[in-house]
Amino acid sequence: MGLGVDEPLAMLRGGATYFYGQDGLGSTTALFTTSGAIAASYSYVAFPVTQPAVRVTAA
């Protein structure tokens, strides 16, 4: 990890804004709506496999 200047902060999709939540290693672990609700969450296993969480909602 460096200075964090190249880390994503937000995503605009379909007119909605989502903010990235990260763990201590900088891995994206969740997407939050502007109201703070969890739109999607992610868990990780051995690199490079990701496993989307069961709770994923569409905007």
User: Hey, where are the domains in the chain?
Assistant: 10-56
Q: What is the pLDDT of residue 51?
A: 64
Q: What is the pLDDT of residue 20?
A: 92
The per-residue pLDDT for range 1-58, each reduced to its tens digit, is 556 667 778 999 899 999 999 888 888 889 999 999 999 888 777 777 766 555 555 5
- What distance lies between CA 30 and its chain's CA centroid? 4
Rounded to whole angstroms, how far apart are CA atoms 12 and 27?
19
Rounded to whole angstroms, how far apart are CA atoms 4 and 49?
23
Pairing of strands 28-33, 16-22: antiparallel
Please give the model's pTM, rounded to 2 decimal places. Answer: 0.65
Rounded to whole angstroms, how far apart are CA atoms 26 and 29?
9
